Amino acid sequence: MITVDLASSEVRALNQCLHDLRPDTNERAFTVTNPLGKHAIAAGLDAPVEVTIQGHVGYYCAGMNKHATVVIEGHCGWGVGENIMSGTVRVKGNASQAAGASGHGGLVVIEGDAGPRCGISMKGVDIVVGGSVGHLSAFLAQAGRLVVCGDAGESLGDSVYEAKLYVRGRVESLGAGCVEQPMTPEDVAAVADLLARAGIKADAKAFRRYGTDRSLYNFHVDHADAY
């Protein structure tokens, strides 16, 4: 176990050390103390290591993550796990805006609430939120799955493509081109599996599914109101 204290060292040194790890490294577990809201902590990881951050982080923590497991024992700022490719990013507290933005794969877990634009532009990542998400979540969401145990703010799934959205609580309003869809047994199984992987207890059958009605897939004058 390697411990790095960001009160007395720089994020640059930490990230360089993590980037320099060889794929066959023995150093697999890192603890980061006193993150003090700093930005880009553990960004660009590309090795199957575990990084646990004790405290609150700033923007883009674990940005573009590959293979690693990053756990934030606190809250995070904007863009946690943005553009994640694989691996897992877990936030024990709340996430700010754009959690999991444009993620391609892997799993992002927010145990508390996620702010507005959770899963914006997502491209295949799975995001599981124990609490609620803010407005414009899953905006332009292309692929992947968003599971929200709490409520969703206004304009959920505005301009959504093929991403699947599951919300257990109240949806304030749906965005352009996003409609409620029937929960199939496959959906229930998928949600149950995601909740299990996220370690969050909830009844998969209590979720409702939302997704694209494909009405905005090709430009047409009859949809001018949506623009």
Partner 1 sequence: MTVDPRQLRPSYTFPPATIAEIHRAADQGLYEIRGSGAKRRLPTFDDLVFLGASVSRYPLEGYREKCATGVTLGTRFAKKPIELKIPITFAGMSFGALGAHAKESLGRAATQLGTTTTTGDGGMTEEERRSSKTLVYQVLPSRYGLNPDDLRRCDAIEVVVGQGAKPGGGGMLLGQKITERVARMRTLPVGIDQRSACRHPDWTGPDDLTIKIQELREITDWQKPIYVKIGATRTPFDVQLAVKAGADVIVLDGMQGGTAATQDVFIEHVGIPTLPAVRLAVEALKELDMHRKVQLIVSGGIRSGADVAKCLALGADAVSIGMAALMAMGCNKPIYVEDYQKLGTEPGYCHHCHTGRCPVGVTTQDPELEKRLVPEQGARWLRNYVTTMILEVQTLARACGKSHVLNLEPEDMVALTVEAAAMAGIPLAGTNWIPGRG
Partner 2 sequence: MCGIVGLFLKNPALAGDLGRHLTTMLVGMTDRGPDSAGIAVYTRPDGVLKLTLFHPDTGYPWREVGGQLGQALGVEDDVEIKANHAVLALKGADEKAARAWLARHHPEVRVMGWGRAMEVYKDMGRPADVASKFHVGAMGGTHGIGHTRMATESAVTTEHSHPFTAAADTCLVHNGSLSNHNRLREWLKRHGMEFETDNDTEVAARYFAHRIREGATLKEAMEAGLKDLDGFYTFAMGTADGFAVLRDPIACKPAVLAETDDWVAMASEFRSLANLPGIAKASIWEPAPAVVYTWSLGGNA
In a 3-state reduction of DSSP, which class is residue 165? strand
Q: How would you classify residue 124: left for phi > 0, otherwise alpha for psi between -120 and 50, otherwise beta?
A: left
For partner 1, which is the closer residue by CB, 91 or 149?
91
CA 39 vs CA 10, 132, 181: distances in Å: 11, 24, 38
Binding residues among 107-136 for partner 1 as defined by CB under 8 A: 117, 120-121, 123-124
135 is an interface residue for partner 2 by CB under 8 A: yes
Which pairing describes strands 178-181 and 208-212: parallel, antiparallel, or unpaired?
Answer: antiparallel
The shares of helix, strand and coil residues in the chain, as percent rounded to the nearest 5, are 15, 25, 60
The answer to whether 76 and 95 have CB atoms below 8 angstroms apart is yes
For partner 1, which is the closer residue by CB, 58 or 153?
58
Residue 182 interacts with, from partner 1, partner 2, none (CB under 5-8 Å by kind): none
CA 168 vs CA 130, 175, 195, 207: distances in Å: 10, 17, 12, 4
Segment holding 89, helix H or strand E: strand 88-91
Please, what is the minimum distance in Å from the beta carbon of residue 24 to partner 1? 19
30 is an interface residue for partner 1 by CB under 8 A: no
The answer to whether 181 and 211 have CB atoms below 8 angstroms apart is yes
94 is an interface residue for partner 2 by CB under 8 A: yes
Residue 221 interacts with, from partner 2, partner 1, none (CB under 5-8 Å by kind): partner 1
Please, what is the minimum distance in Å from the beta carbon of residue 196 to partner 1? 26
104 is an interface residue for partner 1 by CB under 8 A: yes
| Residues 6+ away with beta carbon under 8 Å from 33 | 3, 4, 5, 6, 7, 54, 55
Task: Fill in the amino acid letter for 73.
Answer: E
Residue 75 interacts with, from partner 2, partner 1, none (CB under 5-8 Å by kind): partner 2
By CB under 8 A, name the one of 56, 90, 164, 209 that touches partner 2.
56
Closest CA to 73 of 58, 91, 88: 91
162 is an interface residue for partner 1 by CB under 8 A: yes
Which residues of this protein are in contact with partner 1, per CB under 8 A?
11-12, 15-16, 19, 39-40, 43-44, 46, 58-60, 63-64, 66, 78-79, 82-83, 85, 97-98, 101-102, 104, 117, 120-121, 123-124, 139-140, 142-143, 159, 161-162, 216-221, 224
Which residues of this protein are in contact with partner 2, per CB under 8 A?
36-39, 56, 58-59, 75, 77-78, 93-94, 96-97, 115-116, 134-135
